[in-house]
Amino acid sequence: MLPRWLDGRTATEFGKEIANDIRNLMPLEKGAKAQKNPAKRLQKLARIVARTSAQSAQHRFNFYQKAKFANALRWSLKDSGYTPDFIEEVVALILVRM
């Protein structure tokens, strides 16, 4: 059994859950529709960040667990087809508020 501070299962699951929320609220858009309403997309992203910071206050992840969270989030978004620039901005925005 791993010591509690090395157990990253909760953080990994949380990262995948947030990636799923991003996929649901901000689906990939191609062509002219992608730039249609950036204010609405920003508002949706702000809700995801607020939810993440609220739940991370409950979990109180340590440094290792935050890294596991970020890695799970990054790879889930990459597997979904998001651009690397978008992924890095989202991960950085969320990690700052954890």
pLDDT digits 0-9 by tens, 2-53: 677 778 888 899 999 999 999 988 887 765 455 567 788 888 888 888 988 8
- Please report the pLDDT score of residue 42 as a whole number: 83
The CA dihedral of 55, 73, 47, 63, to the nearest 10 degrees, is 40
- Please report the pLDDT score of residue 80 as a whole number: 92
What is the pTM assigned to this prediction?
Answer: 0.81
88 vs 98: CA distance, rounded Å: 16
What tokens appear for 85 in the block? 């620039």
- Please report the pLDDT score of residue 36 as a whole number: 64
95 vs 44: CA distance, rounded Å: 17
